[in-house]
Amino acid sequence: NAGVTQTPKFRILKIGQSMTLQCTQDMNHNYMYWYRQDPGMGLKLIYYSVGAGITDKGEVPNGYNVSRSTTEDFPLRLELAAPSQTSVYFCASSVNNEQYFGPGTRLTVT
């Protein structure tokens, strides 16, 4: 099993650009999550999903959108990138309250 994979690993965006961060898991987990981690801070929940077709906001959803058309994929969309969205983004899936994290995407908005 590959577990949770994220692409890209690194990305630099200009202010106002859009992009999608990809997340895929091959463990057939229903629950999936997107977090951001700012320097020197813990993870903050952006959005989560309890199954295909069902998503909900977390602690810091503004500026992001998600969709969940399949169990495997949970992409995160940034529509108008802002410098405040510079961060490391982690995707995770979970089963039995145990989370499995992807390797993260480092995003810089300049």
Partner 1 sequence: AQTVTQSQPEMSVQEAETVTLSCTYDTSESDYYLFWYKQPPSRQMILVIRQEAYKQQNATENRFSVNFQKAAKSFSLKISDSQLGDAAMYFCARGAQFYFGTGTSLTVIP
Opening angle at CA 2, ends 34 and 94, nearest 5:
40
Tell me: does residue 39 bind partner 1 (CB under 8 A).
Answer: no
| CB-count burial class (<10 Å; 0-12, 13-18, 19+) for 70 | exposed
Tell me: does residue 110 bind partner 1 (CB under 8 A).
Answer: no
For partner 1, which residue of 1, 2, 14, 42 counts as binding (CB under 8 A)? 42
Tell me: does residue 88 bind partner 1 (CB under 8 A).
Answer: yes
Residue tagged 């995407």 (tokens): 105
| CB-count burial class (<10 Å; 0-12, 13-18, 19+) for 39 | exposed
Q: Please tell me the count of residues contacting partner 1 according to CB under 8 A.
A: 20
Give the nearest distance from C-beta 79 to partner 1 in angstroms: 24
Instruction: Annotate each residue in 50-79 with x if it binds partner 1 (CB under 8 A) or - if it does not, as one string.
Output: --------xx--------------------
